[in-house]
């Protein structure tokens, strides 16, 4: 399923130059990362950042992740406590986003943080995004490059199909390696506890076990994000006044246009099948079938999930039956995305 990078080495440096110029002049560029494609703008240009919200149809109270090259750059924008620094050192560049207090003097547009006093930062582990960060010298606000509530893009084609003309330029890096959005964490310290705790706001490729091992601390994973205003619910088009500071608070997400049926043991009439592990398809000749991982490998399934959902969306099925996926390792993040997709239908 690998698609080749469409740009040759020379073309790539031209593309990078063009992308950097567009960003500097306030435009939007879709950029590959190791997780999913991001829709990037200069995080210090308010007008450019607002264009991200418009292009995605994203409510303006849902803050964006800012991408930087490394921890040193991140520290210019956010206040890193000891634990946040430690986990950044261990997992960056990589699929981990860390929420820390914002340094106002960094000049990040209010539109990025949606008025919060914190900011979500990450250093992506992808040659093209790192080269673009270096060449442009910018901090890049970049949510996933999909319309709000739709499936995240893991290829340039996905971005083109969804956002089309709303993006000024797509930097094509082929298929993304990890396939699921970054794990988001926030370190919290309160007076009752001797040790800080790590709150996992969104499960992702970096697992709770890995975080606990590196930090020696407990990681808590609330089902829904706890809001500063109160517990929030609803979807990305939710127009309430609650202000989700945790991505988990947004239930409608990653949604194909037909319902998903999870933990399915049989395939019903009209359904397509999203498989996991070896499947006997001898009695399913006409059933659209996409196997997340024939050998039952969770990393591979994570890499292929959104491509599978995008593909299934084009098959004219009335529903998608999804085989059970073990709730361990990155399986936790896989099940999280599937549950959200199922919830929205």
Interacting residues toward ligand TXA by CB under 6 A: 33, 35-36, 38, 62-65, 95, 97, 99, 113, 116, 118-120, 122, 142-144, 181-182, 184, 201, 244-247, 250
Query: Parallel, antiparallel, or unpaired for β 65-67 and 140-141?
Result: antiparallel
The structure tokens 């010298």 sit at 137
Smallest gap from residue 247 Cβ to Mg ion (A): 8
Smallest gap from residue 164 Cβ to Mg ion (A): 18
Query: Which pair of structure tokens corresponds to residue 175?
Result: 């298929």
Of 138-146, 167-175, 255-263, 306-314: span binding Mg ion (CB under 5 A): 138-146
* Contact call for residue 144 and Mg ion (CB under 5 A): yes
Query: Which pair of structure tokens corresponds to residue 316?
Result: 């004219």
Residue 27 contacts residue 48 (beta carbons within 8 Å): yes
The partner in contact with residue 106, picked from Mg ion, ligand TXA, none with C-beta cut-offs of 5 to 8 angstroms by kind, is none
Smallest gap from residue 181 Cβ to ligand TXA (A): 4
C-alpha span between 175 and 293 (Å, rounded): 16
Q: How far is CA 191 from CA 81, 150, 204, in A?
A: 16, 40, 29
Residue 267 contacts residue 88 (beta carbons within 8 Å): no
Choose between 118 and 130: whose C-beta lies nearer to ligand TXA: 118
Smallest gap from residue 248 Cβ to ligand TXA (A): 8
Choose between 244 and 275: whose C-beta lies nearer to ligand TXA: 244
Smallest gap from residue 273 Cβ to ligand TXA (A): 27
Residue 221 contacts residue 93 (beta carbons within 8 Å): no
DSSP single-letter state for residue 60: T
DSSP string, 33-54: -SSS-EEEEETT-HHHHHHHHH
The partner in contact with residue 182, picked from Mg ion, ligand TXA, none with C-beta cut-offs of 5 to 8 angstroms by kind, is ligand TXA
Choose between 54 and 263: whose C-beta lies nearer to ligand TXA: 54
Residues of this chain that bind Mg ion (CB under 5 A) = 144
């Amino acid at each position: 399923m690998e698609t080749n990078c469409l740009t040759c080495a020379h073309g790539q440096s031209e593309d990078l130059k063009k992308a950097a110029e567009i960003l500097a002049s306030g435009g939007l560029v879709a950029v590959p990362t190791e997780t999913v494609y991001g829709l990037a703008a200069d995080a210090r240009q308010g007008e450019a950042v607002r264009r991200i919200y418009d292009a995605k149809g994203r409510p303006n109270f849902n803050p964006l992740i800012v991408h930087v090259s490394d921890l040193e750059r991140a520290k210019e924008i956010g206040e890193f406590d000891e634990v946040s620094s430690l986990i950044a050192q261990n997992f960056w560049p990589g699929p981990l986003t860390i929420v820390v207090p914002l340094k106002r003097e960094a000049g990040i547009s209010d539109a990025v943080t949606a008025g919060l006093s914190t900011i979500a930062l990450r250093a992506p582990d992808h040659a093209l995004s790192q080269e673009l960060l270096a060449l442009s010298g910018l901090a890049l606000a970049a949510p996933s490059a999909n319309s709000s509530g739709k499936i995240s893009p893991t290829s340039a084609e996905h971005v083109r199909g969804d956002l089309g003309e709303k993006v000024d330029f797509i930097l094509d890096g082929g298929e993304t390696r990890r396939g699921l959005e970054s794990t988001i964490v926030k370190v919290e310290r309160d007076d009752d506890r001797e040790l800080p705790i790590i709150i996992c706001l969104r499960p992702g490729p970096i697992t709770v076990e890995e975080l606990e091992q590196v930090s020696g601390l407990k990681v808590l994973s609330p089902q829904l994000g706890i809001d500063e205003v109160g517990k929030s619910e609803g979807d990305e088009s939710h127009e309430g006044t609650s202000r989700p500071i945790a991505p988990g608070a947004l239930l409608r997400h990653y949604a194909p246009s037909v319902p998903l049926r999870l933990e399915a043991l049989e395939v019903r009439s009209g359904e397509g099948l999203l498989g996991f592990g070896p499947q006997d398809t001898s009695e399913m000749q006409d059933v659209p079938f996409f196997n997340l991982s024939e050998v039952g490998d969770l990393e591979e399934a994570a890499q292929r999930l959104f491509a599978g959902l995008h593909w299934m969306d084009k098959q004219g099925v009335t529903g998608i039956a999804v085989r059970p996926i073990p709730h361990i390792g990155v399986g936790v993040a896989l099940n999280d995305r599937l549950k959200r997709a199922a919830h929205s239908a």
